[in-house]
Amino acid sequence: MEPTAGRCNDRSQHVYEVRPREDHRGIGLISDALPFGRLWYGEPNAVSNVVDCAKFRSPSHDALIRLYARAGDVIEMHGHAGESKEW
């Protein structure tokens, strides 16, 4: 299955996908908003750290974070409202 992270109509929203790695060695964070497209987390509290990372990487943008099960189904979604700054 090809990741759909970052593919949205609203360019002001960052979309992140959190997926279990196929090699069973942690969690992957996937998004076009990341400098290299993917990050890998392998510690016991990886899911919490991944969600926090996605929120941190999008301080001024709205973010949609989708958490996927190994079967490919969305099991949880998180939203993050970015800070709007008026110039």
Q: Within 13 Å and on the Cβ side, how many CA atoms surround 37?
A: 3
User: How are beta strands 13-20 and 62-68 bridged, if at all?
Assistant: parallel
Tell me the pLDDT band of 1, cut-offs 50, 70 and 90. Answer: very low
φ, ψ of residue 28 in degrees (nearest 5)? -110, 140
Segment 10-57, tens digit of pLDDT: 457 889 999 999 898 899 999 888 888 788 898 888 888 888 888 887
What is the pTM assigned to this prediction? Answer: 0.69
Between 83 and 13, the higher pLDDT residue:
13
Q: Are 5 and 15 in contact, with CB atoms under 8 Å apart?
A: yes
CB atoms < 10 A from the CB of 11, how many? 7
